[in-house]
Amino acid sequence: MSIEVDNISKSYKNFTALKNVSLQIPEGELVALLGPSGSGKTTLLRLIAGLEQPEEGRILFNGEDNTNRDVRERRVGFVFQHYALFRHMNIFDNIAFGLTVRSRKTRPNKEEIREKVHSLLKLVQLEGLAHRYPSQLSGGQRQRVALARALAVEPKFLLLDEPFGALDTKVRQELRRWLRHLHGKLGLTILFVTHDQEEAMELADQVVVMNEGKVEQVGSPEEIYHHPANPFVYSFLGRVNLFRGRVHEGKIKLGEAEFETEWENKAVELPAVGYMRPHDVEVSLHAPADSSIQAVQAQVSRISLLGPIVRLDLKRLDTNEVFEAEMSRQRFAELALVENGTVYVTLNNLSFYVEEGQSVTPAPTFIPLQVSV
């Protein structure tokens, strides 16, 4: 079932959690709500579930307005970060809960409930644990029980709040793979909250990046990683280098490096920031033969060997800016780099942003600059 969030706002006492958020989630997709803590992602999830009421805006399921519908009637599957299993019930009763609380008319009979629970136990690979209590299970197992419990009521879609947040890395990776598999099998719309960008990139078809109660960007993992809409998204997804400079008369100057740009407002001089991923930084021992390639000298201040890749901490000799470069182990061996050695660094694949009119809007808006070289 598709979910539409239409212009939702929500605030608590003196804190605005969401500001005019709109979002479309197509049927059958696995969507991640990604953002730092306090970005409003969990609030949005709880609003969709009906656990909170918005001040403004509407929430539609398959085009049908559900804004004023009670949680109990929305039939959404919600999985809590800390599972919220019923501790005094065994696994069977936990999973059966959503069925056994129905009114007598709509409640399936005992045999049907038993069958349903056992098929769900099979689905979450916990057969044989029906009579255990939640306290006797591991974190990963509890999480799967919580999922089975949510699935038992045949929800329209699944909402997962930091589903793997409380688990250790290995279990988390296993569960991710399993959730992906489950999504493929059930074809259910799944919306999950995470602050882990790797998790979002690995699992989701669509990633919704949120910050300070607003949606910053919506797109496939590929899109948001390679075409971030603004500096926030750029720096939130993976490591990033910042080069500060100025834009003036159609040129962006970052220390000794210069870039042509088509920026229309040529008269004004403004601060500009160039963003670059460490793996895009090209390191060589000699200055490039082609003088149109922008290259600067830098000193290697530290070398970290990180398994398959090598990370260099570098310092620009012209501006003293510190940045990082990543390369394969093979390339590192070819260059035979040593600490405190000097190298040439090619600045390509930079994304530039200019801060516009700080006095006009409280939060700076950023304009991406096109480099014309």
Partner 1 sequence: MRKLLHNRGFLPGFGMTMGYTIIYLSLLVLIPLSVLFLKATTMSWEQFVGTILDSRVLASIRVSIVSSFFAACVNAVFGVLVAWVLARYQFFGKRIIDGIVDLPFALPTAVGGIALTSIYAENGWVGQYLAEWGIKVAYTPLGIWVALTFIGLPFVVRTVQPVLQDWDLQMEEAAATLGATRWTTFTRVILPHLLPAVITGFALAFARALGEYGSVVFISGNMPLKTEIVPLLIMTKLEQFDYAGATAIATVMLVASFIMLLIINYLQWRINKFDAAR
**Is position 88 an interface residue for partner 1 (rule: CB under 8 A)?**
yes
- Residues 142-171 binding partner 1 (CB under 8 A) are 146, 149-150, 152-153
Torsion sign, CA atoms 223, 227, 230, 232: positive
Stretch that binds partner 1, among 53-61, 73-81, 170-178, 217-225 (CB under 8 A): 73-81
Which of residues 58, 69, 75, 114 is near partner 1 by CB under 8 A? 75
The whole-angstrom distance between residue 115's C-alpha and the CA centroid of its chain comes to 37
Q: Is 51 in the site for partner 1 (CB under 8 A)?
A: yes
Q: Is 97 in the site for partner 1 (CB under 8 A)?
A: yes
Using CB under 8 A as the binding rule, whether residue 136 contacts partner 1 is answered as yes
Q: How far is CA 281 from CA 155, 210, 237, 308, 339, in A?
A: 47, 28, 17, 17, 17
**Least distance CB 149 / partner 1 (angstroms):** 7
Span from 68-76, 253-261, 284-292, 311-319 in contact with partner 1 (CB under 8 A): 68-76
Between CA 70 and CA 77, with CA 76 as vertex, the angle to 5 degrees is 135
110 is a site residue for partner 1 (CB under 8 A): no
333 CB contacts (<8 Å, ≥6 apart)?
none
If the CB atoms of residues 98 and 245 are measured against partner 1, the closer one turns out to be 98
Spatial separation of the C-alpha atoms in residues 166 and 133, rounded to whole Å? 19
- Among 12, 13, 14, 72, indicate the residue that binds partner 1 (CB under 8 A): 72
> Coil, strand, or helix at residue 372?
coil
SS3 103: coil
Q: Where are the alpha helices (DSSP H) in 227-354?
A: 231-236, 329-335
The yes or no reply on residue 133 touching partner 1 (CB under 8 A) is: yes
Residues lying near partner 1 in the complex (CB under 8 A) are found at: 49-51, 71-78, 80, 82, 84-90, 97-98, 101-102, 133-136, 146, 149-150, 152-153
